Structure 1
């Protein structure tokens, strides 16, 4: 539990900075560049420590995690007592080759980044990535039962905001959940040009939904059940409710615990303790990272006490 009363039940583990796409908006998980990289055994050790503090969910990310040659070993090492779910976020381009092997290693499900179904737009966003390979990866993930699959669609003004309904249909027909994600402000000019506020889209979804659910342990985000599919909205920018209900820590590829996506000035080195065999030091590092957690967008007094005069 951090100083703001938020429990930590999730660990987002970035295992590489490398990526085979070059999406212009990518925030690289907010990780600074480094030459140090964790082994699969070290990842497993840190996850085991996290599980001892009540972490139940692990999400493996990158860069692109499937570029790690030992990614199957990393997944297997992530399966620890107390961990209820091991998932992965991937761009999907290499997934058709790995989906079944990852499932057998213990991967429960995947999030697949897909901002458009238009091949020309896809190439523009990713700098010549292959839409066909991603679609093949989706089919392979479905066959391997890495479900429920979530499609991560970053909304980009002037590029793909007209494709939301098409994406809902595409995901819904395949039993997948579409996750609409607000562009995060970590790279300046692209944010100003392409940021799209999601309030209007949420109002439209709410008007069409048969059920609206609030995910309390997932940044209090909303999930809309529509006649033709499920849509979840991730709206972090200037969203105090999102920060107030954040329950995850991040682990950078070079072994630092990162309390907040938006900051790099409060990281805690845990990998050095693991490499020295100092597991008590590693546990203290975990406790210190939780202590440093702080909402980036803080609630006002009126938000904390809505009935105050």
Structure 2
């Protein structure tokens, strides 16, 4: 079958699969009151359902998979999920986004299962700020886990930092020092409006363009984007081992290079993080002989994907918070 493509010519080799909506942190921009389970919600996909889902997507050209949450390590069978995903023919890059709370204890176990890329949320290099943003004084332990991943020669190690005005938007000098000797990428992400964070968004949203200007003035050079890359615009500098990426969803033509689809923990296909609907796929994941039906179901829906999101209009779709869909 030809690679999955929409009516705008965009192809989708990259799938983000949430395995659980729960999170053990209380980040101010996502779940400031902590996670509260919905007692009426469906259970998350099983290992067998995940395997069938991934086989269907690889038939359609997916080869990069990112496991997300909530916080994926909250799920007790995460290692088995990684092993299951790594065993699916066609999955060549197995990544995960995590808050790093179990990194020092589980890193080697996850790598043995097939994990070969990791993004760790580190919203500040200042211990007090980190604790204030996340609700946990865990910065030193998490950074130790990042160093362990580098020492273990994890092929791709990146850090995610959500930019918050008057909170952590003045830390570029500290990050530059951190990147001087570490072969790690840091992604600065513009705060995004979701269904339940409008007052916080208005108080703390800051555009990333000013940061990009500082980088260019400091001699950082933009890199060409590879086909299965995430949404960041990447920069490098000859004096630094690490790289910097900018994720600016409010910038012009941000969605023109979209190459990823999302599936929620309960099996709903989301064509956009901020879309107005989810497409239930779970009915096609109950038996091995349903893969063809799954592929056709996905193919029939892809042209419903919009050319762009509607964040500029304040429309956030059905995403109440980033943990609900995996960010």
If the length of structure 1 is used for normalisation, what is the TM-score? Answer: 0.89
- Are 1:193 and 2:203 matched, yes or no? yes
The worse-fitting range, judged by mean Cα deviation, of 124-133 and 58-67 is 124-133
The worse-fitting range, judged by mean Cα deviation, of 90-99 and 214-223 is 214-223
**Displacement, 1:147?**
2.9
**Displacement, 1:62?**
0.5
| Equivalent residues, number | 293
1:50-61 equivalences in 2 (<5 Å): 50-61=57-68
Corresponding residue for residue 205 of structure 1: 215
Tell me if the contact between 1:219 and 1:242 (Cα under 8 Å) persists in the aligned partners: no
Q: How far apart, in 1, do the equivalents of 2:274 and 2:11 lie? A: 19
Q: How far apart, in 1, do the equivalents of 2:216 and 2:243 lie? A: 12
Tell me if the contact between 1:55 and 1:83 (Cα under 8 Å) persists in the aligned partners: yes
What is the aligned counterpart of 1:14 among 18, 30, 44?
A: 18
What is the aligned counterpart of 2:283 among 272, 280, 295?
A: 272
Q: How far apart, in 2, do the equivalents of 1:35 and 1:199 lie? A: 40
- What does the per-residue CA deviation read over 1:168-219, in whole Å, with 9 as the maximum and x for residues that have no partner? 3213422111111111111211111110111111111122235321315346
Corresponding residue for residue 306 of structure 1: none
RMSD (Å), alpha carbons: 2.1
**Displacement, 1:19?**
0.9
Q: Secondary structure at the match of 2:156?
A: coil
**Displacement, 1:45?**
1.5
Corresponding residue for residue 232 of structure 1: 245
1:1-309 equivalences in 2 (<5 Å): 1-26=5-30, 34-79=41-86, 80-186=88-194, 187-215=197-225, 217=227, 218=229, 221-226=232-237, 227-228=239-240, 229-237=242-250, 239-263=251-275, 265-275=276-286, 278-297=290-309
In structure 2, do the counterparts of structure 1 residues 84 and 133 end up closer, same or farther at CA, with 3 Å as the change threshold?
same
**Displacement, 1:140?**
2.6
Q: How far apart, in 2, do the equivalents of 1:220 and 1:142 lie? A: 23
Tell me if the contact between 1:262 and 1:296 (Cα under 8 Å) persists in the aligned partners: no
**Displacement, 1:24?**
1.5
Q: How far apart, in 1, do the equivalents of 2:173 and 2:280 lie? A: 43
Tell me if the contact between 1:221 and 1:242 (Cα under 8 Å) persists in the aligned partners: no
**Displacement, 1:292?**
1.9
* Greater RCO (CA < 8 Å, at least 6 residues apart): 2
Q: Secondary structure at the match of 1:206?
A: helix
**Displacement, 1:295?**
2.7
